[in-house]
Amino acid sequence: MLKYDLVVIGGGPAGMAAALKAKECGVDKILILERASSLGGILEQCIHTGFGLHHFGEELSGPEYAYRFIKQVEETDIEVKVDTMVTDILTGNIVVATNNKEGMLEIHATAIILAMGCRERPRGALDIPGSRASGIMTAGTAQKYVNIYGYMPGKKIVILGSGDIGLIMARRMTLEGAKVETVCELMPYSGGLTRNIVQCLDDMGIPLRLSCTVIKTHGIERLEGVTIADVDENRRPIPGTEQYIECDTLMLSVGLIPENELTRNAGVMIDPITNGAIVDENRQTNRPGIFACGNVLQVHDLVDYVTQESYTAGEGAAKYIKSKNKNKRTKYVSVRPEGGVRYVVPQNINCDTSEDVKLYFRVKDVYRGGKITVTSGDKVIYSKKKPKLAPGEMEYVIVKAEDIRALDKKEIIVKVEV
């Protein structure tokens, strides 16, 4: 059986950053397994700029951001197997993978980092009545067609969902000569970044219809049109507001789901809100030696944060690999969201943490002039006014290690006060 100190599953920005950090921390034998034919992950198809402002201080496109990490990986002795799909993780941290050249591989790993990214919510998850006409696809699939294969999937387009990928594709299709009729968003606000609404929709003269959804698709072989309708506060279509729009393509940008089949099979506990693993501040899951980072852990909107989080996981895994007593379990302080906060990552913090901890979270609604607080019992350990909080933008607060170590109650709560 092959043996490695660290096996990283997924060679996107998360996997590469985690492997690089672990290497920097002195881990010897590292292997990255990637099912695609090259490293880079989803960034390869995200050709627009806006990546790396935090991490590199310049605005790069997705492939440029990935390229910098690919080059760094190539400069180390980190081993990479592409076209290799991980199919299972067995007890004792054995990774099962397959590829065409070597067939089935069983790899023993002292530590494993899960970095499989996320996928888009497909049409089936939505339940729109209508036939199975061609021309209905996720925005990410369309992005791949246009940006990788140079193929235009349609000419007259309706986009359902105002997530960032949908917004980016609205501009992309318009630049390539298609007509984007409208972007419909079920919620009363957009899930995308403001900058994308301005530069992808306003710039291109594409209307954004809030509180609106597609209720029916038309066409048998090929999509011919969709019926849209406004929705009430319970997100139910309002009778009488139906409108038919002719189009040959419907793109769905209705959210991303972490790709956690492997994680579940490995017996890792999943947070029902993030759909990612429950982790501590080192990004270690409940299974000793198994770590998770990037979009497989929580859906990020900025790749820069993916890189940061993955450095944390890489460092955590390195510490674990070098530790003498791997089964030692310290007590956790649990971190809970409350009120307007939807989720917080990490969900647990070691009581004896020696480093300050960044808590990443998302809110449930748009709040103006709110205050973020972190409390434990009656004690306030962090409080800061925020002029604007929105579900589309991930936020973080930093809690001090000494504050965590001094807690009587082994629980802290993150909430928005308005």
Closest Cα partner for 204 from 234, 252, 159, 148?
Answer: 159
CB of 202 to another protein, least distance (A): 7
Residues in contact with 202: Cβ distance below 8 Å, sequence separation at least 6, in sequence order: none
Nearer CB in complex with ligand FAD: 63/339: 63
**Which stretches of the chain bind another protein, using CB under 8 A?**
44, 47-49, 59-61, 63-64, 67, 146-151, 172, 175-177, 193-195, 197-199, 202-203, 387-388, 390, 393
CA distance from start to end of the chain: 57
Q: Is residue 115 near ligand FAD by the rule CB under 6 A?
A: yes
**Binding site partner of 67, from ligand FAD, another protein, none, Cβ cut-off 5-8 A by kind:** another protein
Q: Is residue 33 near ligand FAD by the rule CB under 6 A?
A: yes
Nearer CB in complex with ligand FAD: 190/227: 190
CB of 387 to another protein, least distance (A): 6
Amino acid at position 19, single letter: A
CB of 32 to ligand FAD, least distance (A): 9
Beta bridge partner(s), residue 277:
270
Nearer CB in complex with another protein: 207/267: 207
**Binding site partner of 83, from ligand FAD, another protein, none, Cβ cut-off 5-8 A by kind:** none
Q: Are 367 and 400 in contact (CB under 8 A)?
A: no
Binding mask 289-308 for ligand FAD (x = CB under 6 A): -----xxx---xxxx--x--
Q: Is residue 143 near ligand FAD by the rule CB under 6 A?
A: yes
Q: Give the torsion through C-alpha atoms of 23, 26, 30, 36, to 10 deg.
A: -10
Distances (CA, A) of 290 to 213, 266, 374, 378, 387: 40, 9, 28, 35, 38
Q: Which range touches ligand FAD (CB under 6 A), out of 6-14, 23-31, 177-185, 369-377?
A: 6-14
What 3-state DSSP class applies to 110? strand
**Phi/psi of residue 415, each to 5°?**
-145, 165
Q: Is residue 309 near ligand FAD by the rule CB under 6 A?
A: no
Distance CA 249, CA 133 (A): 10
Token couple for 201: 């929709």
Nearer CB in complex with ligand FAD: 125/351: 125
Q: Is residue 259 near ligand FAD by the rule CB under 6 A?
A: yes
**Count of Cβ atoms closer than 10 Å to residue 243 Cβ:** 13
Q: Is residue 41 near ligand FAD by the rule CB under 6 A?
A: yes
Amino acid at position 261, single letter: E
Nearer CB in complex with another protein: 144/410: 144
CB of 13 to another protein, least distance (A): 15
Nearer CB in complex with ligand FAD: 137/212: 137
Q: Which of residues 169-228 bind ligand FAD (CB under 6 A)?
A: none
Neighbour-count burial for 112-144, b at 16+ CB within 10 Å, e otherwise: bbbbbbbebbebeeeebebeebebbbbbbbbbb
Q: From its phi and psi, is residue 245 left (phi > 0), alpha (psi between -120 and 50) or beta?
A: beta
CB of 167 to another protein, least distance (A): 13
Nearer CB in complex with ligand FAD: 252/416: 252
**Phi/psi of residue 19, each to 5°?**
-65, -45
Nearer CB in complex with another protein: 386/400: 386
CA atoms within 13 A on the CB side of 47: 14
Token couple for 222: 């090929």
Binding residues (CB under 6 A) for ligand FAD: these are 9-15, 33-36, 41-43, 46, 51, 85-86, 115-118, 120, 140, 143, 164-165, 168, 256, 259, 262, 294-296, 300-303, 306
